[in-house]
Amino acid sequence: MIRRRYGLIGFILKSLPLFTMVLFGSVVSPSLFMSGAQADQGYPYEGMVVMKTEKSFKALADDLTDSIKANKMGLVTRASASGGAAKAGITIPGNMVVGVYRNDFARRMLTASIPAGIEAPIRFYLTESSDGTSVLTYRKPTAVFAPYNSADLDVMAKELDGIFEAIAKGATQ
């Protein structure tokens, strides 16, 4: 027992970090550290781009695939909880994560920073809205690579920002 070993004052001092976390955790919201749009939408990271469309989920998925190819990038990964649920006979709103990258960028990234390799491929997230429309979300590559503090990564990420913006526009228009 902490109280028996340290007495009441020791117990209070030992409990202070937990008390502080509980007190401030309920008073200070993480949304205070994000921009208003991000906090309202529940995104914990800076650099999120959210594009609402009038397209159906399937149309957006198809158009994203076409736009990735048109912008000479590779569709590296694709995962869909709604697709998996459908195989089990369960219907949930459409969602899909699509990883996009290209080998020349991978080589440049790894030359600049081996730890940054965990960030590739960079993802697009497609979600289906209750009204049948869909949303495309991605994090700007400059935001993805910023924590690595590498000038070479920063240059590459700016190039990727333009490509990812073009892919997103191509998919959503």
Please give the helix or strand (H or E) that residue 163 lies within, else none.
Answer: helix 151-172
- The tens digit of pLDDT for each residue in 93-123 reads 999 999 999 999 999 999 999 999 999 999 9
Global pTM?
Answer: 0.76
Q: Which residues contact 109 (CB under 8 A, 6 or more apart)?
A: 116, 117, 119, 120, 145, 153, 156
Q: Helices H, strands E: what count in the chain?
A: 7, 5
- The tens digit of pLDDT for each residue in 5-64 reads 445 444 433 443 433 333 333 333 333 223 334 434 677 788 999 999 999 999 999 999
Question: What φ, ψ does residue 18 adopt, rounded to 5°?
Answer: -65, -45
| Residue 18: CA count within 13 A, CB half-sphere | 5
- Rg (C-alpha) for the chain, rounded Å, is 22
| Residue 144: CA count within 13 A, CB half-sphere | 25
| Residue 50: CA count within 13 A, CB half-sphere | 13
Domain boundaries, the chain: 1-33, 34-172
Please provide the CATH number assigned to the domain covering 34-172.
3.30.310.70
Q: Which residue has the tokens 């004052």?
A: 9
